[in-house]
């Protein structure tokens, strides 16, 4: 019986009655990109040279390392180096300081580091030796950490009158001329540097303090081939993590089980960490943009929205998929999904060198508005599509998940996310101002609202601008509804 059935199937297949099924094998993260020491050092030297070229003459840039952050009692959060210091040195250790001086056009780069201390190393592991720091950073002048304070104090005293400008990494609203709204350690240092030094004698000119971020952020916007390879690895780990969660979703009962599968994959593939807390929302929880609790049930018939990204070597992916737990989109889920998918396609078409972030916003808005209108979730006289789509369509991506940079025009090497979404929140209509227009609006869309409520869909891909358009860094993660369904059908399994 079984045999006859098989033969019949083969015959039908041969006759072309059954389309060939591509077998969608789960994605396995390829090995991490490898670079020689020389390549790595050349990359760091390139970045520093670019920074130095933009520093005004007779200036000093001071980059302090991140400070440990208290978790509880005597326990800190996992230490993560400050991005710009890492960008220029690859040093991961606490209490590192980078000082770059540009004086009469001559550059001096100095790294300050705590001296190795056997009693500290007993508790916390090996500290960098001078040779380690030289090899990792490529900077030849490595001095003890205590001397960093001496160098900073010398700046405060204006001991070298030639130096007129100091760059710090300032946070907050640095547009304030007096720096009043800057905050943190660096703001305090900024104030001290700008104050006239105590003591007798002729008063030197006040030091000018500029924000080093203005220089470094701009460079970080364009990802070199080296950076692109690392970011691709973070995307690949995230791709594998998404798929693994899809495979078990039909056999779990709680959201945290899917989150565990994702973060297990991150760790297993040696990601540094996640780039942002994982968002795993089943059913109505998918309509909360940054839902991080993972305490809800996962039910057959639900969609699950997962916005999760691995971080690798300080670069983070940012990837969202929305998939059906039972492996099949319902008609209503598919209606919403297709609009979001089409908006993504429109964004990808609009994104190219010379186009801007505004262009892709408009491209997405147009598709989302038309789609929602067709479904009856907004009306021609009141097309308030932002009721169901309340965020931007994308952001720069890099060392920060919402990466730095103040330019808006695309250039090759820029990386960004393409992430439209529609969220039919069950209470959305309750918060509309009670006006005659809104009353009419609510009455008109009520049937569609009842049909689609509690469906949340976001699809988010990581894109890189190429000379001619875009490349989808996330292209290995199924995105079309039929591809997601085929993948789940071919790969669903129970948890191990």
Binding interface with Mn ion (CB under 5 A): 318, 417
76: which strand partners?
A: 70
CB of 307 to Mn ion, least distance (A): 7
| Of 373, 383, 370, 360, the residue nearest 461 (C-alpha) | 360
CB of 337 closer than 8 Å to CB of 457: yes
* Residue closer to Mn ion, measured from CB, 137 or 417: 417
**Nearer CB in complex with Mn ion: 174/239:** 239
Nearer to Mn ion, 65 or 415 (CB): 415
Rounded-to-integer distance, Cα 285 and Cα 425, Å: 9
* Least Cβ distance, residue 268 to Mn ion (angstroms): 23
Distances (CA, A) of 123 to 67, 71, 80, 119, 126: 18, 18, 18, 7, 9
| CB nearer Mn ion, residue 136 or residue 470 | 470
Q: List, in order, residues 6 or more apart from 59 with CB less than 8 Å away.
A: 101, 102, 163, 164, 165, 166, 167, 210
Q: Quick one: tokens of 404?
A: 């730095």
Nearer to Mn ion, 294 or 417 (CB): 417
The CB-of-208 to Mn ion minimum distance in angstroms stands at 36
**Are 401 and 275 spatial neighbours (Cβ–Cβ below 8 Å)?**
yes
Spatial CA neighbour of 188 closest among 144, 152, 148, 147: 152
Element at 306 (helix H, strand E): strand 303-308
Instruction: Return the number of the residue (187 or 346) whose C-beta is nearest Mn ion.
Output: 346
Which residue lies nearer to Mn ion by CB, 335 or 461? 461
Q: Which helix (H) or strand (E) holds 111?
A: strand 106-113
Which among 70, 71, 67 is positioned nearest to 81, based on CA atoms? 67
Least distance CB 340 / Mn ion (angstroms): 14
Nearer to Mn ion, 93 or 417 (CB): 417
Locate 218 and state its tokens. 């701009």
Name the residue with the smallest CB distance to Mn ion: 318
Short-list 2, 495, 496, 492, CA closest to 247 = 492
What does the CA dihedral 475, 478, 480, 481 come to, rounded to 10 degrees? -170
> Is the CB of 90 or the CB of 287 nearer to Mn ion?
287
Count other Cβ atoms within 10 Å, centred on residue 98. Answer: 23
Q: How far is the CB of 236 from Mn ion (least distance, A)?
A: 17
Nearest approach, Cβ of residue 365 and Mn ion (Å): 17
Reduce the DSSP state of residue 218 to 3 states and report it. helix
Name the minimum Å distance from CB 293 to Mn ion: 19
Least spacing, CB of residue 419 vs Mn ion, in Å = 5
Smallest separation, CB 141 to Mn ion (Å):
40
């Amino acid at each position: 019986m079984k045999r006859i059935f098989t033969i019949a199937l083969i015959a039908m297949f041969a006759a072309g009655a059954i389309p060939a099924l591509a077998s969608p094998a789960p994605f396995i993260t390829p090995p991490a990109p490898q670079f020689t020491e020389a390549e790595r050092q050349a990359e760091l030297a390139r970045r520093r040279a670019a920074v130095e070229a933009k520093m005004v003459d007779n200036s000093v840039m001071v980059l302090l390392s991140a400070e440990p952050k208290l978790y509880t009692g005597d326990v800190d959060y996992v230490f993560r180096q400050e991005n710009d210091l890492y960008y220029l040195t690859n040093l991961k250790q606490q209490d590192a300081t980078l000082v770059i001086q540009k004086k009469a056009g001559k550059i001096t780069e100095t790294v300050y580091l705590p001296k190795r201390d056997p009693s500290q190393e007993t508790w916390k592991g090996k500290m960098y030796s001078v040779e380690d720091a030289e090899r990792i950073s490529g900077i030849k002048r490595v001095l003890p950490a205590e001397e960093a304070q001496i160098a900073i104090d010398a700046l405060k005293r204006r001991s070298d009158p030639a130096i007129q400008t100091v760059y710090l990494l300032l946070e907050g609203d640095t547009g304030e001329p007096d720096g009043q709204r800057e905050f943190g350690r660096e703001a305090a240092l900024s104030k001290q540097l700008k104050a006239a030094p105590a003591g007798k004698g002729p008063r030197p000119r006040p030091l000018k303090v500029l924000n080093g971020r203005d220089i470094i952020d701009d460079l970080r916007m364009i990802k070199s081939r080296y950076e692109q390879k690392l970011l691709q690895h973070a995307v690949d780990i995230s791709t594998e993590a998404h798929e693994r969660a899809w495979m078990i979703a039909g056999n779990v009962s709680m959201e945290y089980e899917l989150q565990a599968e994702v973060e297990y994959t991150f760790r297993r593939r040696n990601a540094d960490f996640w780039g942002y807390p994982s968002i795993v929302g089943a059913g109505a929880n998918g309509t909360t943009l940054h839902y991080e609790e993972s305490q809800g049930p996962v039910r057959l018939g639900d969609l699950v929205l997962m916005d999760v990204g691995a971080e690798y070597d300080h670069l983070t992916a940012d990837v969202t998929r929305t998939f059906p737990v039972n492996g099949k989109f319902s008609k209503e889920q598919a209606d919403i999904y297709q609009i979001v998918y089409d908006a993504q396609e429109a964004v990808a078409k609009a994104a190219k060198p010379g186009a801007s972030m505004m262009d892709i916003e408009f491209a997405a808005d147009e598709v989302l508005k038309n789609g929602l209108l067709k479904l009856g979730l907004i009306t021609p006289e009141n097309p308030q599509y932002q009721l169901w789509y309340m965020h931007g369509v994308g952001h720069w991506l890099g060392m920060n998940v919402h990466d730095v940079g103040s330019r808006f025009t695309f250039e090759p090497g820029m990386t960004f996310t393409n992430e439209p979404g529609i969220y039919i929140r069950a209470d959305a209509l309750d918060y509309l101002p009670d006006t005659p227009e809104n009353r009419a609006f609510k009455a008109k869309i009520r049937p569609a609202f009842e049909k689609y409520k509690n469906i949340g869909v976001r699809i988010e891909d990581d894109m890189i601008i190429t000379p001619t358009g875009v490349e989808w860094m996330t292209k290995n993660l199924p995105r079309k509804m039929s591809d997601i369904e085929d993948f789940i059908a071919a790969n669903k399994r129970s948890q191990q």
